[in-house]
Amino acid sequence: MRIPSLGLSIRGRLVLGMVLLVSAGLAVANASGIFLLRSYLLDRVNDQVSSIAPDAAENPLPGAPRNLCANPRDPRGLRSDFVLLVLDSEGDVVCSLGPDLGDAAPELDEADLVGTDEVVTVPSVDGNSRWRARATSDDDTGQTVVLAVSLADADATVARLTRLSLLVSALVLLFTAAAAWVIARIGLQPLERIEDTAERIAAGDLTERVPHYRRGTEVGRLAHALNGMLAQIERAFSASTTSETRLRRFISDASHELRTPVAAVRGHAEMWRTGISDDLDTIMARIESESKRMGDLVDDMLLLAHLDQSRPLERTPVDLLSLATDAVIDTQALQPERQISVDAQPGASPPVVIGDQSRLRQILANLLTNALAHTPATSPIEVAVRARDRHVDLSVHDSGPGMPSDVQAKVFDRFYRADPSRTRDHGGSGLGLAIVKSLTEAHGGTVTCTSSPGSGTTFTVSLPLAVSTS
C-alpha cells in the first residue's frame, strides 16, 4: 500500500509519523485512564448510595417513610450533595431531607425509578449536573424513598483530569516533535552529504564519491551502491570522451594528411586542362602515384580507427620465428645489398603466440620498413626472436644514426616524423609505428623503443606466449 507523501520532505514525514504515533499512544492512555477513573468514582458513588439506602426488604431504613416526614429537621447525617425524597403513589414529593437545591436538584421521573431498585443516573432540573439515585418502595404506604447523590464532584474530577491530560499530551507532543526533528536532522545528515556530492558531480566533477558508511546500515548500502554506479558512469563517460577525442583526431588527421595528395592530383589535372604541360604519361603517373598514396593513407587510418574501437581480431596460433624468417626474406628482396639477419633463441618452448597472423606480419613489416627508411643502405638490420618466461620478444635492431630521447618519446604518435627534412612525397604517412603500437596492444602485448645517437635503434615487441596444451 502506497502512503501519500502530502508534499512533505522525508524529515517532515518522519516527524509527522512520530507525532501521530505518540498521539495515538497518548489518546489510548488518556482515554483508558479517564475511563477507569470515571468508573472508579461512579462505583464509589454507587457504594455510597447503596450503603445509605440499603435494600428495604433486608435492612429497612430506620423509621418508615411516614416517620421521615414527621421529623424533617433530622438530616440523618446527609451532606449537601445528598438528597432524600419521599414520594407518594402519584410521584409527588411528600417531604425531603437535605438542602434546598432549587434547579440543581435532581429531576426525578417515577417511571425511571420505581420498580427498578437499581442505582440510575438522572439529570438535574437545569441539566447542568447529574445525580445517581435509587428508589426504595414501601408496600404498606405505597410511598417511595428516593436517595440521590450528586455526581458533580466526580464529573469535576474527571473534567480536571481530562484538561490536565490534554495539556500534558500537548506538551509531550511538542517535545516529541522537537526531539523527532532533531533526531531526523541528525539521521538524515548522511543523505545531505550525498546530496552535496551529487551537486558537485552534476557540476562536472565525476571524480567525486559519496562518503563511506558502515555497510550494515541503509545509508552505507546506499552509499556503496551509488559509488559503484558513479564509478561506472565515470568509466563510461571517460570512454565516450576518449572515443569522441579519437574521432575528432581521426577527422582532423584525415583532412590534414589527405590535403597534400588531393592538391597534387588537382594540380596535375589543372596543368593538363590549361595546357601548361602536355606530357600526359607523366601527369597520369603522378596522379596514379598520389591516388595510391591516398589509398594507403586511408587504409592505415581505417585500421587505426578499427583498433581504437577495440574490435576483436582473429585468434590462431602463430609461430613468430617462421613469421620473422618470411618477413626478412621479403624485405631482403626490396634491398638485396643490405645485410638482414635473423637471431633465433626460442628457448624450451617454440615461440608461438595466439593472434591474428596477418596483423602480426604487418607489425614486423612496418618495423622493417621503418628501419629501411631511416638508415643507410649499408647499415645492417637484425631481427631477433627470444622466448623468456611467459612472453616472446620480437625485436628489430638497426645500426643507424639513432634517436635522441625527445624523439623517442613521440615516435609512436600518429603522423609524427622524426626527420623533418623528409617530405610527405618521400617519407611515410607517419602512421607506421602508431599502427605497430595499436596492433601490439590489441594482442595484449607491449612495444618499446631503445635508442641513442650513434648507437642505432631497437624496437622490441613483447607478446604473451601461447599456453601449451600438451
Residue 417 sits in which domain range? Answer: 314-464
Give 52 or 88, the one with higher predicted confidence: 88
CATH number for 460: 3.30.565.10
Final residue in a domain of this structure, among 128, 151, 174: 151
Residues 243 and 122 in one domain: no
The angle subtended at Cα 448 by Cα 444 and Cα 449, nearest 5°, is 160
Domain-embedded: residue 41: no
Pull the grid cell for residue 418.
Answer: 622524426
Q: How many domains does the chain have?
A: 3
Claim to verify: residue 319 and residue 250 sit in the same structural domain: no
Same domain? 291 vs 247: yes
Q: Is residue 228 situated within a structural domain?
A: yes
| CATH code at position 225 | 1.10.287.130
Assess whether 300 and 375 both reside in one domain: no
**Is the separation of the CB atoms in 280 and 272 below 8 Å?**
yes
Q: What is the pLDDT of residue 302?
A: 79
Do residue 117 and residue 239 come from a single domain? no
Average of pLDDT values for 286-292?
84
Distance (Å, whole) CA 259 – CA 354: 39
Assess whether 244 and 345 both reside in one domain: no
State the pLDDT confidence band at 419, using cuts at 50, 70 and 90: low
Using CA atoms, how far apart are residues 168 and 176, in angstroms rounded to an integer?
12
pTM over cut 0.75: no
Q: Judge contact between 412 and 430, C-beta under 8 A.
A: no
The closest of 411, 466, 414 to 443, measured between CA atoms, is: 466
In-domain check, residue 33: no
Q: Judge if 90 and 143 occupy the same domain.
A: yes
Q: How many residues are recorded in the chain?
A: 470
Please indicate, yes or no, whether residues 363 and 439 belong to a single structural domain of this protein. yes
Confidence category of residue 15, pLDDT binned at 50, 70, 90: confident
Share of the chain above pLDDT 90, in %: 16
Q: Which of 80, 78, 81, 110 is closest to 94 using CA atoms?
A: 110
The reply to whether 362 and 380 lie within a common domain is yes
How many whole angstroms separate alpha carbon 165 and alpha carbon 31? 9
Q: Are residues 268 and 372 in the same domain?
A: no
Contacts of 130 (CB under 8 A, 6+ apart): 121, 122, 123, 124, 150, 151, 152, 155
Q: CATH number of the domain that 85 lies in?
A: 3.30.450
C-alpha separations of 433 from 348, 417, 447 in Å:
31, 10, 10
Looking up cell 561506472 gives 232
Long-range own/partner contacts, residues 94-103 (CB < 8 A, 24 or more apart): 94/65, 94/69, 94/143, 95/68, 95/69, 97/68, 97/72
Cα torsion through 90, 91, 95, 99, rounded to 10: -160
470 pLDDT band, cuts 50/70/90, is: very low
pLDDT in tens, 317-338: 999 999 999 999 988 888 888 8
